[in-house]
């Protein structure tokens, strides 16, 4: 089932915002498509303001991508728990997203092509 993961350069420039703050902007983002799930945009860490992120205790495991580590986003008004994840030692099918960051599609977080 590993062949159901496709990773390619995301067209254009992408931005991510949370709590009114721009967390990052990248023209080097990647798009990961897995089976029938909606595409997920992954940002290079160098393009994200890591000062807004705090490492979480949460982890998860995907049989195709490997173990994910999570982060909270700290805004002026609140902490958005576990809305960011990263594969730091991914399986071969997800190697291209090693150390990239993805953001959950929730009301307080906006990932947009600009």
Reported as a single tens digit per residue, the pLDDT across 14-37 is 999 998 889 999 999 999 999 888
d(CA 105, CA 71): 14
The pLDDT value given to residue 109: 93
The pLDDT value given to residue 20: 83
Residues of the chain with confidence (pLDDT) below 70: 1-3
Domain spans of the chain, in order of start = 2-113
Please report the beta strands in 1-114, taking only residues with DSSP state E, as ranges in sequence order: 5-9, 14-18, 21-26, 30-34, 40-44, 53-62, 66-74, 79-87, 100-103, 109-113
Domain 2-113 has CATH 3.30.465.10: no
Strands 66-74 and 5-9: unpaired
Full-model pTM: 0.93
The pLDDT value given to residue 3: 61
């Amino acid at each position: 089932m590993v062949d159901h993961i496709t990773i390619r350069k995301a067209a254009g420039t992408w931005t991510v915002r949370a709590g009114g703050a721009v967390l990052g902007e990248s023209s080097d983002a990647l798009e990961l498509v897995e089976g029938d799930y909606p595409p997920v945009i992954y940002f290079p860490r160098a393009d994200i303001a890591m000062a807004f992120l705090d490492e979480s205790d949460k982890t998860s495991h995907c049989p195709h991508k490997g173990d994910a580590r999570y982060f909270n986003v700290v805004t002026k008004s609140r902490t958005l728990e576990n809305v960011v994840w990263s594969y730091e030692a991914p399986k071969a099918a997800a190697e291209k997203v090693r150390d990239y960051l993805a953001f959950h599609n929730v009301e307080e977080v906006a990932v947009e092509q600009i």
